[in-house]
Structure 1
Amino acid sequence: MVLVLVGVLLLLMALEFPVAFAMTGASAVYILLQGGIPLVVMAQRVTVGVDSFVLLAIPFFFLAGELMNQGGITKRLIDLAQALVGGIRGGLGHVTVVTNMIMAGMSGSAVADATGTGAVLIPAMERAVSVGRLFLGGVIPGVLMGLFMMGAVYVVARRRGYRAEGWLTLSGALRNIWRAIPVMLFPVIILGGIFSGIVTPTEAAVIAVVYAAILAILVYRELSLRKLVDVLTTVAGNTAKITFIIASASLYGWLLAREGVPQLFTGFFLSISREPWVILLMVNMLLLVLGSLMETTAILVILTPVLMDLITKVGIDPVHFGVVLTLNLMIGLLTPPVGMVLYVMVSLAKVSVTEFTRECAIFMLALLVVLALITYVPGLVTFLPRIVMGR
């Protein structure tokens, strides 16, 4: 019956069904053929999959990200990045990298992917590791990604003869920095609250929304009623999509567990090797392939419990693995044929997928180098959690 469960899913995905519909359809076919499972179980498992306080963070972080975009907050971040790195050759590319590094510490939004990532990954791992450790574990890898991406920008700029745009005047730079100070309090409030244990990720998401609304409405005064309606419409659509995927993946994952797939999966990997570095290599390869073929949230819901069982048996640090898992799936967001960020950027830039993928190659290489570093130098992930929160 495992073949039915997996085969129907692959068939529906090949027919270009959305992944949530494909998983629901595969689950329904399995239950009907199995015969011993009441159909009401489908509704029960779907409800259980989304009945989580942690998942409330999803709409709130979506909302915080949209308020930042529509309320002038992102624009202040771009001005700040321009003051910091705009004079380097390939300046606009560096500004883009730095802006997104800062944004990642505020809303975690790559199509708000880290929202979905955190909300799904954390419940699966919370018994093994604290949320604060996971967030701290991602700091150094995040900085490394930014530095490597800036290096890639510089290489492209030199190769193509792009000129440096020139540094801002001292007064202009100070003005941009001053205007961005309220924005820079964002990560202090949000991440500081999580790291210290004062607030949960869900509560931090609510604080993010409130603070973003204050900045957008009262400080920068750029959020009109029309923009607010657009923001709420976008957030509602994105939240519904992610919630549907989580619900269907929860049902599908439960059926896989019922068939003993996690144990089969773990046994297969361990039959090849029990060396942690070999296991990590195989897991990376699996996640990179799946990340290019399936929606990230679905992979997290289905595979995280399975992989946690595997990495626990070979002695891999759960914090280390959580960050490696997240980076793998983030790379999948840029990889055809399913990468969500890929298609968002293709639409915005009005270029073909082929052209975008070709231009993106050097940046993908930079991300893969960082992935290799954090995979085989676990101290890059575990150092800050150990220093700040102890063993």
Structure 2
Amino acid sequence: MTALILFGLFTFLLFLSVPIAIGLGLASTAALLFSGKVSSSYVAQGLVTSIDSFPLMAVPFFILAGNLMSQGGLSERLLSVGKILFGRFNGGMAVIAVVTCMFFGAISGSGPATVAAVGAILLPAMTKGGYRPAFSTGLIASAGSLGIVIPPSIPMIIYASSANVSVTELFLAGIIPGLLIGIFLIAYAWFVGKRESVGLKEPTPTLGEALKTIYDAKWALLVPVIILGGIYGGVFTPTEAAAVAVFYGLIVGVFLYKELSLKKLYTILADSALITSTIMIIVGAATIFGRVLTIERIPVQLADYTLEIVSNPLLLLLLINVLLLVIGTFMETLAAIIILTPILLPIAAGIGVHPVHFGIIMIVNLAIGMITPPVGVNLFVASRVASLSLEKVMRSAVPFVIVMLVALLLITYLPFISLGLSNLINN
């Protein structure tokens, strides 16, 4: 009965369009009051203790770092490097879009931020090069979802905190899957560009021009090297790396590229504070929801029941993927991770799936959820940036969703894609 109240009330509130954090909090409070196992003050205490975490401190820092670098001129210079490498080929601009999203994703750790930053610059250029606006928008919305797969990734930090696994290991496990999805998107985008003979064909640069462009973008290109190299090299923790990224973005934007004014800094700080507060409220409410599940032993009972019904590991993984894909269409990514991790991780562990591998499976599923309606946040951002109707953007994203689903199946059933790099380094 407690489970029915918890999930029933939460679902009812979602249908009423109640903000997800409020819905989670109200459902959790109602379930606790009904069960009577803990006092109602448990909710207030949990909201505070759930975000009192050193790894979670990385979240506001990475949000601020991403905004600083987005407004500080780094994305424009990454685009210039992409043009030098691919701009002279048919379909080259589509390749540039994916590669730039991958690089910026490794800077910001956020899907919507990647779509907004890259889309604002690349969409006009792709339209000028002959690409259909809907195709370009769908491509950037899809490639932007790599912002949560390629480390550093805010959802990875949340999952690591929920599943009690190493953030560093999870970051390491996301590199190859992120590159794999990127390669799949590049292959399809290049094929379409080649077939339709479109692309802003840049003149072949001289060696001097190429070196000058790369040299001008050196501070932007160094960001992933400093952040990820520092983490994997043991120089600093992911949380410390996030603070370093903020300092680096500030220095580069203000003193080196000189594109961050005091007015911009104020706007960046205000936006970052708003995003951070929203995320932390969701994290706190979703954590309480997860703790209620644990108190009622719902995850354990569900895991036992599921393993009794479905004993085939391949089929069970397929069912988990389908569930995650469906939930990703209507639930916010961070809330989905915190709610579903204590439910699904015991089931996955029961068939021998490594917690880090399962984390990558979950995050890739939810990344696809960013480009599937009704709550595909990347679709909304891309639609706004491109000034296209949401329906057109949704239709244009369908082929990219299919491409990403193929990559998801490979990542799910070939664990070495996620764990191979970590095993190689640790051994």
Assess same fold via TM > 0.5: yes
Distance 1:125 1:36, change over 3 A: closer
**Aligned residue among 389, 394, 400 for 1:357:** 394
Question: Which stretch shifts more, 301-310 or 73-82?
Answer: 301-310
Q: Using the alignment, how far apart are the partners of 1:117 and 1:378 within structure 2? A: 20
- Residue 82 of structure 1 corresponds to 83
Q: Using the alignment, how far apart are the partners of 1:133 and 1:182 within structure 2? A: 26
Q: Deviation per CA, 1:78-125, whole angstroms, max 9, x where unpaired? A: 111111222232222211111111122222221367343122111233
Q: How does 1:95-114 map to 2 (within 5 A)?
A: 95-111=96-112, 114=148
1:119 maps onto 2:160 in alignment: no
Q: Using the alignment, how far apart are the partners of 2:380 and 2:295 within structure 1? A: 35
User: Match of 1:176, as an amino acid?
Assistant: T
Q: Look up the SS of the partner of 1:138 in the other structure.
A: helix
- Residue 176 of structure 2 corresponds to 140
Q: Using the alignment, how far apart are the partners of 2:355 and 2:15 within structure 1? A: 34
Question: Which stretch shifts more, 65-74 or 192-201?
Answer: 192-201
Q: Using the alignment, how far apart are the partners of 1:274 and 1:108 within structure 2? A: 36
Offset at residue 350 of structure 1 (A)? 1.4
- Residue 185 of structure 2 corresponds to 149
Offset at residue 366 of structure 1 (A)? 1.3
Distance 1:251 1:214, change over 3 A: same
Offset at residue 15 of structure 1 (A)? 0.7
Q: How does 1:1-391 map to 2 (within 5 A)?
A: 1-111=2-112, 114=148, 115-126=153-164, 129-163=165-199, 165-170=201-206, 171-390=208-427
Q: Using the alignment, how far apart are the partners of 1:285 and 1:276 within structure 2? A: 14
Offset at residue 64 of structure 1 (A)? 0.6
Q: Using the alignment, how far apart are the partners of 1:116 and 1:130 within structure 2? A: 14
Offset at residue 36 of structure 1 (A)? 4.8
Q: Using the alignment, how far apart are the partners of 1:260 and 1:330 within structure 2? A: 29
User: Match of 1:41, as an amino acid?
Assistant: Y
Contact persistence 2:62–2:154 (CA under 8 A): no
Q: Using the alignment, how far apart are the partners of 2:415 and 2:50 within structure 1? A: 31
Offset at residue 167 of structure 1 (A)? 4.5
Contact persistence 2:317–2:412 (CA under 8 A): yes
Q: Look up the SS of the partner of 1:52 in the other structure.
A: coil
Contact persistence 1:83–1:167 (CA under 8 A): no
User: Match of 1:64, as an amino acid?
Assistant: A
Question: Which stretch shifts more, 203-212 or 160-169?
Answer: 160-169
Name stretches of at least 5 consecutive residues in structure 2 with no aligned partner.
Answer: 114-146
Q: Using the alignment, how far apart are the partners of 1:31 and 1:84 within structure 2? A: 58
Contact persistence 2:109–2:154 (CA under 8 A): no
User: Match of 1:135, as an amino acid?
Assistant: F
Contact persistence 2:230–2:236 (CA under 8 A): yes
Q: Using the alignment, how far apart are the partners of 2:364 and 2:384 within structure 1? A: 24
Contact persistence 1:312–1:318 (CA under 8 A): yes
User: Match of 1:136, as an amino acid?
Assistant: L
Q: Look up the SS of the partner of 2:112 in the other structure.
A: coil
Name stretches of at least 5 consecutive residues in structure 1 with no aligned partner.
Answer: none
Q: Deviation per CA, 1:326-378, whole angstroms, max 9, x where unpaired? A: 11111111111112112111111111221101111111111111111111122
Offset at residue 159 of structure 1 (A)? 4.2
Contact persistence 2:61–2:246 (CA under 8 A): yes
Q: Using the alignment, how far apart are the partners of 2:163 and 2:3 within structure 1? A: 25
Contact persistence 1:88–1:94 (CA under 8 A): no
Q: Deviation per CA, 1:189-227, whole angstroms, max 9, x where unpaired? A: 110111123211110100111111111111101000111
Q: Deviation per CA, 1:205-250, whole angstroms, max 9, x where unpaired? A: 0011111111111110100011101100110110011001001101
Contact persistence 2:156–2:359 (CA under 8 A): no
Contact persistence 1:276–1:316 (CA under 8 A): no
Contact persistence 1:94–1:153 (CA under 8 A): yes
Contact persistence 1:77–1:183 (CA under 8 A): yes
Q: Using the alignment, how far apart are the partners of 1:337 and 1:145 within structure 2? A: 23
Contact persistence 2:67–2:108 (CA under 8 A): no
Offset at residue 140 of structure 1 (A)? 1.3
Offset at residue 168 of structure 1 (A)? 3.9
Distance 1:277 1:65, change over 3 A: same
Q: Using the alignment, how far apart are the partners of 2:204 and 2:266 within structure 1? A: 36
Question: What is the number of residues matched between the two proteins?
Answer: 388
User: Match of 2:157, as an amino acid?
Assistant: A
Contact persistence 1:137–1:384 (CA under 8 A): yes
Q: Indicate the RMSD between aligned Cα atoms, in angstroms.
A: 1.7
Q: Look up the SS of the partner of 2:108 in the other structure.
A: coil
Normalising by structure 1, we get a TM-score of: 0.95
Distance 1:199 1:276, change over 3 A: farther
